[in-house]
Amino acid sequence: MSLIKSISGIRGTIGGKPGDGLSPLDIVRFVSAYATYIKNGKGKAKVVVGRDARISGPMVRDIVVGTLQGMGVDVVDIDLATTPTTEMAVVAEKADGGIILTASHNPIQWNALKLLNADGEFLDAKAGNEVLAIAAAEDFDYSAVEELGQITHKDYTDYHIQKVLDLKLVDVEAIRKANFTVAVDTVNSVGGIILPKLFKALGVNNVIGLNTEANGRFAHNPEPIPQNLTGISETMAKGGVDVGFVVDPDVDRLAIVCEDGQMFNEEYTIVAVADYVLSHTLGNTVTNLSSSRALRDVTEQHGGVYTAAAVGEVNVVTEMKRVNAVIGGEGNGGVIYPECHNGRDALVGIALFLSHLAHKNMKVSELKKTYPAYFISKNRIDLSPSVDVDAVLVNVKKKYASEKVTDIDGVKIDFKDSWVHLRKSNTEPIIRVYSEAHSMDEADKLAKDVMAVVEELSR
């Protein structure tokens, strides 16, 4: 059993003893702490609650809503909804915050409480640490019967779709004329509710749906990476389909499949969408340090400036605001388009990508070839618990002092034609090692060389 507490929320496996997993008692404690933080001594507060389709969702929702009521917080329960839908609902409701019940790409036994501020964005480090401190103190003040929170039930599905359709760069007419045939895998979660409606609204009438029943029983590992997407790849390889889309259970990540069944590459979702946006809107871009250099290349081709942020959506959004970025996101398939809202949104990614594809009038595989070719190798170094990981990273930084080194989140070393990024885990004695080069062999070799240095410094 696992329970992971972080600034952006609480994630854990369902079942087990309190403190070992995401038990009902843990849910009450952390929701009470969040409500205390949101109220901050004022009278009434309002919080939006949405969830993905996990089978533990109804149980977790009932406890969350009941706890918020008990804390005197009014609740807008939008029930089955994507993460970006819930984020947008917070703003639309002028709520004080929101709680998303989703463990994102984690397997079926997991669930989580993702905490939002009044702007529909994830809590930053300061706010998140304050919530954790309140939870640790367990100094909660529950409301008297006359002051219990009230529940309102709403559906924000159509609202979200309309917001996407209203974006200036979403060209519904061009998409309709292209007469695309699309395959989509929604891994038995809320994407199966909202994406068919989105495609219909975009004029995409030929849709092949895989795993679209939102029953929470994931047909495959829900992380949208190549080894988990054999089903849609096989469907595409049979021919007759122009593009495939895959989302994770809460629909904030988007993977794209070429017409021949090959992966477009999850890292290139943001690259392609940014290429389209930048071709119409001059501006800057942001992704995290572990994302492909291809976005930097495309941004500079369009006359913009690329900036790398620390890993984590809240860090990317903060940096996007600082540099006034027109588009940003994460290499895991997360597209953040401030014109709509400041959160990863697969619906926005799909609509902008289809607009781009319609304007280019080429196959997805052909579009992929227009972008710089990079390959990322993902590895890890397991260390003994006695190793001082921070000290090791400091020594790595010294070792590569002659190169461009960034240390805002671990250590990233930028070479002329490649890079390697080392980050320590917050939960176990390991260092994650991401490397990128113009071929997978080069990326693997770079990772191997740097890992050897780390292991030597760890002795």
Token duo for residue 437? 């080069």
State yes or no: is 104 an active-site residue.
yes
Q: Which residue has the tokens 């989703």?
A: 102
- Strands of 92-190 (E only): list them: 97-101, 110-116, 151-153, 181-185
Q: First CA to last CA across the chain, in angstroms?
A: 31
Determine the Cα angle at 377 with ends 103 and 234, to 5°: 65
Identify the H or E element spanning 414.
strand 411-414
Single out the catalytic residue among 6, 56, 104, 292.
104
Torsion angle of C-alpha atoms 282, 283, 289, 293, degrees rounded to 10: 20
Q: Phi and psi of 380, rounded to 5°?
A: -145, 150
Identify the H or E element spanning 104.
none
The Cα–Cα gap between 289 and 307 comes to 9
Please, which residues bridge with residue 113 across strands? 10, 101
- Strands of 250-355 (E only): list them: 254-257, 284-288, 306-309, 325-330, 334-336
Residues noted as catalytic: 104
